């Protein structure tokens, strides 16, 4: 199997192999079926029957067998069974296991019940009898029809994307709306490619109070200050200074729309597609790197399938420090952490904890600071780091990172006739650097970090 490459499809199932785990679904198969039967634009129905109808006794009506009538109302509809049979007919072949026929029947029956209304046509004041009962002209009285405003207030329920289980939401965000679906012209302000994007925006991103805080770093001035010179020197060896200098005011609304509509292609160029205003935009990672003014590839990739071990950060702390947190970091690493959090690795929650790729970033800075001979290359792949952080935030519904960088991408990708002047901007300020007091602690072991670094808090002379 490994000689054939990574498994993508197997017996009608779509297989996604991610860092979070392996996910199996039939989303593409069902989408193909819905497109085949021209059902992609139908609206779902949460309650496929008339509710709150008032029944009245008809003394002149024909008596019926209660058991037969109840069975007729509770049983499955004939037309729906026929449609289900047409869709699941291919599952009768030897290529599919027997249990898939039953599972698909149940699944498609559920889909059809949401897409096709099963209630009979209602006229003002009366409701017709079920289609199978043609022997009598009796009518059942019902409540008057609701106004359009009332029906809109009691619109069909749908699952909230904010509370959806993580696996299902991750599978939704891994698909590409722009390739699988035609554009829906009925979305609000034509700002979304399809209704699903609009629902994701309203459920997750519109209520989001703020994006992750970021600030630019005045690298040139800080490099001349002895208190920050060592930390700035480390960022230079890691290839981060060009990124740290970027300054761009951003629109939270546009950045939220970017994340709500973002789809990432499975190509080598890692192409991203999204909506800005009413414009469909796209750019690959090389284009994004050129806009930011950083190398498109090359360097160390710090994201991996396994969770980083925080114990590798032991030598970054004083004796009173707590490994994995910001408490007790040596001054040089406390300064570096502030630089990283303001630029390449903005915090999305608990600012006191070090987690994810930030652990690898801090450990690499430690190795870079200790290597005074310059024998190794500690440059990181900046674009790979940014791409993985954007992808993780997209599939996990975390707060939004890189708002200034995404705004630059939007400004250089949107159509010329798209007017962005009406969007309110948030100022992307320059970070004010605070000088930290030197710390004192127990003497380090002979083979530990940089001799007297624990007492001085600074790296050795370069």
Q: What is the pTM of this model?
A: 0.64
In this prediction, residues 153-174 reach a mean pLDDT of 82
User: Which residues of 91-183 form beta strands (DSSP E)?
Assistant: 122-123, 126-127, 140-141
Give the C-alpha separation, 283 to 276, whole Å: 13
> Tens digits of per-residue pLDDT, 355-395?
889 999 999 999 999 988 877 999 999 999 999 999 999 99
Average pLDDT (66-71) is 50
Confidence (pLDDT) at 106: 52
User: For position 130, what pLDDT does the model report?
Assistant: 45
Top mean pLDDT of 382-391, 410-419, 444-453 is at: 382-391
- Phi, psi (5° rounding) for residue 381? -80, 95
pLDDT in tens, 272-303: 999 999 899 999 999 999 999 999 988 999 99
With the CA atoms of 309, 311, 314 and 316 taken in that order, what torsion angle do they form, in degrees rounded to the nearest 10? Answer: 20
Dist. CA 376–CA 217, nearest whole Å? 25
> What φ, ψ does residue 23 adopt, rounded to 5°?
-115, 135
Show me where the domains of the chain are located: 8-163, 219-456
Which residues, including other chains, have CB under 8 Å from residue 289's CB and lie 6 or more apart? Answer: 295, 296, 297, 382, 383
Distance CA 271, CA 70 (A): 56
**Which pairs count as long-range contacts for 86-93, CB under 8 Å and 24+ apart, including other chains?**
87/33, 87/37, 91/12
Give the per-residue pLDDT at 15.
Answer: 82
- CA-CA distance, 223 to 77, in Å (whole number)? 76
Please, are residues 324 and 353 in contact by the beta-carbon 8 Å criterion? yes
- Cα 146 to chain centroid distance, Å, stands at 38
Spatial contact of 357 and 345, defined as CB atoms under 8 Å apart:
yes
């Amino acid at each position: 199997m490994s000689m054939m490459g990574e498994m993508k499809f197997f017996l009608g199932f779509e297989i996604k192999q991610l860092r979070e785990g392996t996910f199996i679904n039939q989303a593409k198969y069902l989408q193909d079926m819905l497109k085949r039967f021209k059902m992609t634009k139908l609206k779902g129905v949460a309650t496929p029957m008339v509710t709150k109808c008032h029944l009245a006794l008809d003394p002149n009506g024909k008596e019926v067998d209660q058991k037969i009538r109840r069975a007729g109302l509770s049983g499955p509809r004939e037309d729906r069974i026929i449609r289900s049979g047409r869709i699941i007919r291919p599952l009768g072949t030897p290529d599919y296991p027997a249990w898939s026929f039953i599972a698909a029947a149940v699944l498609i029956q559920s889909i059809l019940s949401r897409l096709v209304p099963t209630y009979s046509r209602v006229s003002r004041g009366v409701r017709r009898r079920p289609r199978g009962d043609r022997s009598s002209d009796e009518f059942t009285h019902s409540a008057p029809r609701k106004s359009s405003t009332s029906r809109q207030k009691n619109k069909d329920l749908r699952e909230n994307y904010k509370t959806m289980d993580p696996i299902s939401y991750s599978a939704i965000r891994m698909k590409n709306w722009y390739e699988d679906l035609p554009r829906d012209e009925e979305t609000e302000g034509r700002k979304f490619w399809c209704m699903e994007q609009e629902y994701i925006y309203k459920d997750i991103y519109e209520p989001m109070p703020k994006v992750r805080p970021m600030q630019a770093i005045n690298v040139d001035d800080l490099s001349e200050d002895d208190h920050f010179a060592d930390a700035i020197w480390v960022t230079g060896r890691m290839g981060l200074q060009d990124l740290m200098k970027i300054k761009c005011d951003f629109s939270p609304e546009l950045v939220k729309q970017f994340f709500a509509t973002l789809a990432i292609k499975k190509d080598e160029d890692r192409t991203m597609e999204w909506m800005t205003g009413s414009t469909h935009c796209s750019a690959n990672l090389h284009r994004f790197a050129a806009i930011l003014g950083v190398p498109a590839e090359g360097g160390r990739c710090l994201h991996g399938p396994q969770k980083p071990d925080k114990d590798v950060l032991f030598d970054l702390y004083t004796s009173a420090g707590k490994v994995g947190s910001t408490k007790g970091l040596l001054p040089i690493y406390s300064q570096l952490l502030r630089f990283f959090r303001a630029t390449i690795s903005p915090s999305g929650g608990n600012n006191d904890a070090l987690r994810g790729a930030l652990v690898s970033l801090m450990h690499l800075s430690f190795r870079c600071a200790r290597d005074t001979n310059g024998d190794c290359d500690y440059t990181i792949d900046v674009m790979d780091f940014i791409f993985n952080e954007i992808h993780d935030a997209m599939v996990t519904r975390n707060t939004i990172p890189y708002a200034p960088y995404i705004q630059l991408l939007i400004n250089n990708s949107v159509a010329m006739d798209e007017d962005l002047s009406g969007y309110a901007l948030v100022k992307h300020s320059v970070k004010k650097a605070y000088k930290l007091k030197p710390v004192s602690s127990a003497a380090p072991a002979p083979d530990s970090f940089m001799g007297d670094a624990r007492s001085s808090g600074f790296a050795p002379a370069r």
